């Protein structure tokens, strides 16, 4: 009889512990969202790199940001860091979306999500396309949950101070798991 009571108490205690999960504090705030939007608009206005001016050898590394609205089990937006590397010899592009922060629908920073998304794709002409997946962990109503996110980037190389030194584009995708969502109105820049 004592064994049954102890087991019930232990299982109940585990349930309470998992229901008390704390989110990771956000690393971005509202000013970062505004700064990212301003930077995206400035870079997206640069001239497209002509296909004839695209590099045909070497590698270029880019850093930037990705932002998007999310709709579904939770509504709001995300802002994340973006690293891309283009290998022009082979036409490959790879990268990572990381430091992913969730914002409430009113723009209030909510939490940093644990995890990242690995990207792979290709360069064709003066355009690029990359897709990636990764598991993101967050906390909703005190419960920790995992979602498998898929992200698609479609962008264009632009010329700021040199040919193909900047990329801007659109982001789409979705998440499935403990929290389901669709990515809408997404954009990215990397320079």
Percent of the chain at pLDDT exceeding 70: 90
Residue 9 has pLDDT above 60, yes or no: no
For the segment 157-169, the average pLDDT, to the nearest whole number, is: 97
pLDDT tens for each residue of 95-139: 999 999 999 999 999 999 999 999 999 999 999 999 999 999 999
Residues paired with 135 in a beta bridge? 148
Domains and CATH numbers, the chain: 22-190 (2.40.160)
Pairing of strands 117-124, 181-190: unpaired
178 DSSP β-pair partners: none
Q: Out of 4-8, 82-86, 186-190, which region has the weakest mean confidence (pLDDT)? A: 4-8
Say if residues 191 and 43 touch (Cβ distance below 8 Å): yes
3-state secondary structure of 107: coil
Distance CA 134, CA 83 (A): 15
> CA 184, CA 178: separation in Å to the nearest integer?
19
Mean pLDDT for 21-50 is 97
């Amino acid at each position: 009889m004592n064994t049954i009571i102890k087991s019930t108490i232990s299982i109940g205690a585990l349930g309470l512990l998992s229901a008390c999960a704390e989110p990771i504090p956000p690393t971005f705030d509202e000013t970062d969202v505004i700064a990212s939007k301003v930077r995206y608009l400035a870079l997206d206005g640069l001239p497209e790199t002509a296909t004839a001016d695209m590099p045909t050898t070497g590698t270029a590394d880019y850093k930037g940001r990705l932002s998007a609205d999310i709709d579904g089990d939770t509504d709001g937006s995300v802002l994340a860091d973006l690293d891309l590397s283009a290998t022009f010899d082979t036409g490959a592009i790879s990268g990572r979306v990381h430091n992913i922060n969730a914002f409430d629908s009113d723009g209030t920073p909510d939490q940093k999500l644990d995890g990242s998304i690995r990207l792979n794709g290709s360069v064709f002409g003066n355009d690029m396309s990359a897709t990636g997946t990764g598991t993101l962990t967050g906390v909703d109503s005190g419960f920790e949950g995992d979602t498998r996110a898929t992200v698609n980037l479609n962008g264009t190389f632009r010329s700021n101070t040199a040919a193909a030194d900047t990329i801007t584009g659109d982001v789409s995708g979705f998440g499935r798991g403990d929290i389901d969502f669709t990515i809408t109105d997404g954009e990215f820049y990397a320079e």
